[in-house]
Amino acid sequence: MVRRPSRRARIAQWLVLLGLAAVAWYLLANAGENIGRRHIPFGFGYLGNTANFDIPFHLISFTPSDTYARALLVCLLNTLLVSAMSIVTATLLGLLVGIMRLSTNWLVRNLALGFIELVRNTPILVQIIFWYVAVMQTLPGPRQSIFLPGRILLNIRGIYLPAPVFGADAPTLGWIALALAAATPLVWRLRLPGSRRGAGRRLGATALLLPLIALGVLAFGIDDFDAPALRGFNLAGGVQLPPELAALWAGLSIYAAAFIAEIVRSTIQAVQHGQREAALSLGLKPGLVLFLVVLPQALRMMLPPMTSQYLNIIKSSSLGAAVGYPEIFQIFAGTVLNQSGRETETFLIVMGTFLGINLTVSAVMNWFNRRVSLQVMR
């Protein structure tokens, strides 16, 4: 039975909200009065001004003749790129290290413990600068590139990856893949045909196969891969990840992986031991017990703290300014702010952008958490 708040409690809540609104109004009015007294213009029209600077790394076209608004879009995409790469890498690495922490092998268990204690007890900014200065800047030149499996090249200019070459039917396959990915939340709620006794089983997590199918559809549109190769004194072909991106990616991923590993370890240990014993008694091997019985139950407990780690990764991407990666803070709160002189508007845009990204990620993770959580019958 849900207890409804009393009338006195509702009145107190409204009074607190009105008080907070009054404080916010006072602060905004005071800021506006001070800005007007100093004859500082306020507005966001400056976003249409010409940038007159270049951004070294961009996913979409950008020239110095473009506007500040275009620069904001470029920096937003750069921030989303390094955040998405770091979230995926940190999740996989954290899952691996967390499982290693529970190994019966003394060496494996203590290697994972040493990694966690080393990473999470040193500042993330120091780690990012270490990866940039002590690792990326000490690599050989392009002509002495390090060849990695998968036709990947590593040198002082960054990481060179093979680039997919799409065929003529790629746009159609792309729309089909996008439709499959967008249909995932709808398929999640579908139910199989029910029997005479009641409704059918909801598809639920089976809908997560749709994004995998979408990736397979996109793969059919790839005709070949353009691998990077040394031509003369330079490298041609492929996709280049600059050293600034690689260092920030490594720093964010490894730092977050140490915390995710502890989340994985603690949630696995929180699963009742009887679940493992029952699975082993059925003849399942320990590896299958972990991935088919223990991890699915631990997932329900690890999602809330994992969401916090994902949000921390997105916010920490602003540390890319320390190594010169052109993300939102480095370009917009740096170059654009110095050129335009619009401190208040610029920081409002930067804070609003990060707030919008984090609220979106939080909403998606909370939705997924509600879907996989156990439903308690009342």
Query: Which tens digits make up the pLDDT trace of 142-181?
Result: 888 888 888 888 888 888 888 888 777 777 877 887 887 7
**25 lies in a domain?**
no
pLDDT score of 310: 95
Q: How confident is the model at residue 195 (pLDDT cuts 50, 70, 90)?
A: very low
Q: How many domains does the chain have?
A: 1
- The residues, any chain, with a CB within 8 Å of residue 123's CB and separated by 6 or more, are none
**299 lies in a domain?**
yes
Here the CATH number for the domain that contains residue 63 is: 1.10.3720.10
Q: Over range 51-67, report the average pLDDT.
A: 88
Q: CA 349 to CA 332: how far, in whole Å?
A: 9
Q: CA 208 to CA 181: how far, in whole Å?
A: 9
**3 lies in a domain?**
no
Q: How confident is the model at residue 227 (pLDDT cuts 50, 70, 90)?
A: confident
For residue 9, the one-letter residue type is A
Two tokens, residue 147 = 């060849």
Is the pLDDT assigned to residue 377 strictly greater than 50?
no
Q: How many CB atoms lie within 10 A of CB 329?
A: 22
Q: How confident is the model at residue 192 (pLDDT cuts 50, 70, 90)?
A: low
Q: CA 134 to CA 136: how far, in whole Å?
A: 6
Q: Over range 103-120, report the average pLDDT.
A: 92
Is the pLDDT assigned to residue 206 strictly greater than 70?
no
Q: Over range 269-287, report the average pLDDT.
A: 81
Beta strand 239-241 pairing with 158-161: antiparallel
**37 lies in a domain?**
no
Give this prediction's pTM.
0.83
pLDDT score of 191: 66
Give residue 82's domain range.
Answer: 47-138+242-372
**24 lies in a domain?**
no
First vs last C-alpha separation in the chain: 9
pLDDT score of 91: 94
Q: Are 81 and 59 in contact (CB under 8 A)?
A: yes
Q: CA 215 to CA 209: how far, in whole Å?
A: 10
| E runs forming strands in the chain | 146-148, 152-155, 158-161, 163-166, 222-226, 229-231, 234-236, 239-241
**326 lies in a domain?**
yes
Q: CA 127 to CA 247: how far, in whole Å?
A: 9
Question: What is the percent of the chain with per-residue pLDDT over 70, rounded to a whole number?
Answer: 91
**148 lies in a domain?**
no
Q: Over range 312-327, report the average pLDDT.
A: 92
Q: Are 313 and 252 in contact (CB under 8 A)?
A: yes
Per residue, the 3-state secondary structure of 49-96, as one string, reads CECCCCCCCCCCCCCCCCEHHHHHHHHHHHHHHHHHHHHHHHHHHHHH
Give the DSSP per-residue string, 321-354: GGTT---HHHIIIIIIHHHH--HHHHHHHHHHHH
Higher pLDDT, 167 or 339: 339
Per-residue pLDDT reduced to its tens digit, 65-98: 999 999 999 999 999 999 999 999 999 999 999 9
Is the pLDDT assigned to residue 198 strictly greater than 60?
no
pLDDT score of 201: 59
Q: Over range 206-224, report the average pLDDT.
A: 76
Q: Over range 282-309, report the average pLDDT.
A: 84
Higher pLDDT, 114 or 334: 114
The β-bridge partners of 166 are 222
